[in-house]
Structure 1
Amino acid sequence: GGKKNSECDLCAILCFCHSGPCRPNPCHNGGVCELGETYRGDTFVGYLCRCPLGFDGVHCQHKCSGPLGMEGGIISNQQVTASSTHRSLFGLQKWLPYFARLNKKGLVNAWSAAEGDRYPWIQVILIFAIFKMFVITVFVYAILLQIFTGNTDNNSPSANSFSPPIEAQYIRIYPQVCRKHCTLRMELLGCELTGCSEPMGMKTGHIQNYQITASSVFQTLNMDMFSWEPSKARLDKQGKVNAWTSAHNDQSQWLQVDFQITTKITGIITQGAKDFGHVQFVGSYKVAFSNDGEKWLMYQDEKQQKDKIFQGNFDNETHRKNALDPPIYARFIRILPWSWYGRITMRVELLGCPEEQ
């Protein structure tokens, strides 16, 4: 009868499931295929993948258990709030909400609720998109009427899984049992619901050295052993020489990645570095992209109809994430530093997924 939800289609699937859409199983990473009246756009596919904990996407192809940025700094101070703040030493020490970052060091290195706060909470706002959260590492808290086990000491992390996962832009943690003060450091683990915000391999090395090039390379003391090559521009890289630094400080410099194939890029994470104690970072940058490495297009600010300038870093260590919305579809991407502190210096991760996703 011309119905979109065709009873005949569904009957055919149910009656011939041995050769239907679940045979072979289209769900990856242990996903369970379920038959049903399911559409992808206007196409009737007749199945749905139930993904195991830690995976997401149409075919459970995306990992969904990466840190969302409490420890690294992608989640900014302004995104973390709390019901109260503990003050000590006559009010000079403030245990602020944004100190609640996993593995934070220092004399004041966590969030702590005020003594008189009978119902303390700490909240994180995830501003880029709706996120799916699977795991959270915290002190002791209760949420959704379920009590989760927290820590037994002041230093060892404790992990808890949400099954089913939470899909939300705001998450609030309510400590229930505390020793002395309700105090915590934490990380949120999960992914964006778009399913296309996975690290592309700068940090892990999946993007190989030959795929990363640059306009110029600086050498400390003009020595080869202190050469800040583009292949070192990997997020969180350690060592004395642990980033790319350009030989010149001007707006003609660039760092380039060749993905080898057309790729969907949805975000960029940047980080600065230190050159023998000297803090260096890129404060803002532009982005260009190409499919052949010769013709380049500048990423545009759609509202202002001009080249978009992205906010970069404020120090040498904190991660800074910028979303590309709309995303870039290209083989090559270039980051063009626009302002900097010290020297043009970058460590980078690129976020995205293969073009077809």
Structure 2
Amino acid sequence: MLLVVGSYALSNCTGSKLGIESSEIPSENIRASSEYDAHSGAHRGRLNIEPTNDGIGAWAAKTNDLNQWIQVDLNEVKVVTGVITQGRNNYSQWVKSYEVLYGMDSSNWQIIVITVGTPKVFVGNTDTDTQVTNLFPFEIHARFIRINPMTWNNHICMRFEILGCPVKTKFCTDPLGVEEGTIALTASTQYDARHGPEYGRLNTTPKKGNIGAWGARSYDQNQWIQADIGALKWVTGVITQGRNWTYSQWVTTFEVLYSIDGNNFKYIIEADDTTMEFVGNANRNSQVTNLFPKPVIARYIRIHPTAWLHAICLRFEVLGCSDVDQSLMLTCPANVTLPTDKGVNTALVDYSRNITTSLSEIRPDPTSYFPAYLTIGQTFFKFYASDDNSNEISCTFKT
């Protein structure tokens, strides 16, 4: 079976309004930490809303403190790229700065960050009605978006809209079998037989013969624990915990690698192509969910601890789509014409990050092919992928 799909590169989502202003999103999907009175509830927080008999021209919090927020349930997972905000219509009340959190449900939140541990503070409004658009440093996948005001003028009042697009690739968050014990775990090292990778499953508790987590033998940058999920699947994130029981041992930051074959691994990366570092745990038992910027197709998921408290100890689960996609897939940018440099036979734009495959290696290797050095008179070139049944697909770049 052959399947050719378009790239889900970061530039694909132009960021349309997702339905707050238009009321496609119903009022019951918009909630807030508090409201000043019945005329200033979260449902009054729609972009461009004006005062009516039903309420004022904005959401207004009951109290002015850092515990206030307004959030929206988008009804389904979307690619989210940014927000638009306004102050209160006809009153000098607005939010001057804020943070943004996101999640797949209304309980587990991640915050938009600049770097690991440093939340991004967005610049908000300076008057009542001017729309201020803030785009995120990277696209996120989320169903719930929460805005947390940090500073304000006179009173916390806001109108807002969310920008984004429908998800074109699968984005499920099903547990893929680590906790239930149906998939195999391996690790770089284990402290002893009681600290083996088989004890690294989410919610493992100490029993006879184990310590309630995987524990590495060495505390260095060469340690990892890995899950073989048994088949190629869409993988979207991980859940982590520290060591159960009385020991304060957990991983505070980590990287994630993925592979089709268990030999060739790639890192989950940021929008700027740097390796993404995830924020891990801050205690023994709380579950911390980290979602990837976009889904990956993989059979093997490897967690690489980069910082820890006292010892490298970890329990985890892998999230993704439980149904298996065994299609041969090659993703490429569509209808690309590469610029060449003033007659020099070199295609300068590096598209290697936008070419991915499943079940196969890409020929030639995109990471070593760009910049593309063209033969005299060459007007196009191709990348190929094939499966075990000799089915082959390709994508073409014109010059």
Q: TM-score range by the shorter chain?
A: 0.3 to 0.5
TM-score relative to the length of structure 1: 0.45
The TM-score, its normalising length taken from structure 2, stands at 0.40
